Amino acid sequence: MLGWAIAFLVIALIAALFGFGGIASASAGIAQILFVVFLILFVVALVMRAVRGKTP
């Protein structure tokens, strides 16, 4: 999921560089949403691992 967020961020930066404002803003929005979802899932995974008591 983090890979998708980074990919959309790169697309947004390239689109902004070439002046495609609509595509850049849409890609940046998607990247932000995917990054937030990734962070939420990461925190949930950390909490679940701590609750189960397993060591890495």
Question: For the segment 1-55, what is each residue's pLDDT rounded down to a tens digit?
Answer: 678 778 878 888 888 788 777 777 887 888 888 888 988 988 998 888 888 876 6
Cα gap 30→48, rounded to integer Å? 27
Measured CA to CA in angstroms, residue 14 lies from 3, 10, 50 at distances of: 17, 6, 40
The answer on pLDDT for 56 being more than 70 is: no
Whole-prediction pTM value? 0.63
Domain ranges within the chain, ordered by starting residue: 2-52
Looking at residue 32, what is its pLDDT? 86
| pLDDT of res. 40 | 92
